[in-house]
Structure 1
Amino acid sequence: MGIFEWIIIVIIALFFINRLIPTKGITNITVEEAKEKINDKNVQCIDVRTPGEYKVKNRPQFKNIPLHELPSKIDKLDKNKDVVVICQSGMRSLRAAKLLKKQGFKNIYNVKGGMSAWY
């Protein structure tokens, strides 16, 4: 194998490693742990699914801010409060959690399995 092939393999490996390593400040929590957090006044809950998905099934404690709208609405959130983020499966909410982390939020919780695990 040549140097070019090795470089490609390393780049691909780093991509997957980056996806698997948890980001500091983001904690994956179970639905049961989320249920304990959502009624705390110091926690803000965000559902990053589309409005259509949110309308079908939702938890009223979660404010619907679709993932694509989050960057423009992030300034309406309190950086001093914990954030619980949910989506349908946990993938979009993880992306949202990483975005929140980059914007200076400290304690972010991603619900593993998302709404699919809730019901």
Structure 2
Amino acid sequence: MFGLFKSVPSISTKELESLLSTQKITLLDVRSPGEYRGGHIQKANNVPLNKITTYKGKNTEPVYVICQSGMRSKNAAKQLKKMGYNVINVRGGMSQWTGKTRGGK
């Protein structure tokens, strides 16, 4: 029974910000391409939630997942975990992010 509900670890946007400043990490933004263009974290790759199962990255290092509020990224993290990735969800998503963003008009 417990195997079904392995929880995905998560970090805050502040923790993410300090990670980004100290090391190279894999960060996936699972929002729509339009939302991503509206403003995203510089090192984030856009892999919309509906395409997350096509993601092909190294599964030797952690994959951080972010969306707007944390719901889609949690869903994406569960799918990536099933695919064998070591996934960390970013709680609060872009709505909590206070660091620099790129994109937008």
- Looking at structure 2, the residues matched to 52 and 85 of structure 1 have their Cα atoms a distance apart, in angstroms, of 17
Does the 8 Å contact 1:38/1:44 carry over to 2? no
Unmatched runs of 5 consecutive residues or more in structure 2: 99-105
Count of residue pairs the alignment pairs up: 94
**Bigger helix fraction:** 1
5+ residue gaps, structure 1, are: 1-17
Give the alignment of 1:1-119 within 5 angstroms: 23=7, 26-39=8-21, 40-41=23-24, 43-72=25-54, 74=55, 76-106=56-86, 108-119=87-98
Structure of larger gyration radius: 1
Higher relative contact order, chain-length normalized (CA < 8 Å, sep 6+): 2
TM-score by structure 1 length? Answer: 0.72
Supply the AA of the counterpart residue of 1:48: V
* Deviation of 1:22 (Å): 6.0
Distance in 1 of aligned mates of 2:47 and 2:91:
18
- Give identity over the alignment, percent: 40
SS of the residue aligned with 1:38? helix
